[in-house]
Amino acid sequence: MTASRRNDLVKPGRKLAYQQIGISIFLVVACALVTYFCWGLSYAISALTGGAIGIIPNFIFAWKAFRYSGGSVSKLVVESFYSGVKLKLVLTALLFALAFKFMAILPVPFFGTFCLVMAIPLLAPVFLKN
């Protein structure tokens, strides 16, 4: 199976994943702007940090999970998916630890935008019809 044909099989999933990441970025920036104008810079930085901790691991997972497709490479598909999940969890924990260690985090905007980013994959299929 050629590489271009293999990639055709993952295009819909990859497209949906990247659309969800785009929506996440847009909503995090919008929330940070609203937070900035309502409560100030420190709240907005916390909101951006929480959103980034949600977006960055999701992007890495989407990149890893949709690298391979097809029956002839099914083992690679499964390994890539599971390594993407593991990397996402480790990266999320590491980013949380770094944020708590080196930043003055305000919990409401931080966890609010993080939870928003985590909820987007649940809501996006309703709004993103292919």
The residue type at 90: V
Query: Residue 50 half-sphere exposure, CB side, CA atoms within 13 Å?
Result: 26
The answer to whether residue 5 scores a pLDDT higher than 50 is no
Q: What is the per-residue pLDDT for 43?
A: 97
Domain ranges of the chain: 10-127
Q: What is the per-residue pLDDT for 71?
A: 62
**Whole-angstrom distance, CA of residue 8 vs CA of residue 62:** 16
Instruction: Provide the residue count of the chain.
Output: 130
Long-range contacts of 122-128 (CB under 8 A, 24+ apart): 124/16, 124/19, 124/20, 124/23, 125/16, 127/23, 128/16, 128/19, 128/20, 128/23
Model confidence pLDDT, tens digit, residues 71-90 = 666 788 788 888 889 999 99
**Whole-angstrom distance, CA of residue 80 vs CA of residue 29:** 30
What's the pLDDT band for 24 if we cut at 50, 70, 90?
A: very high
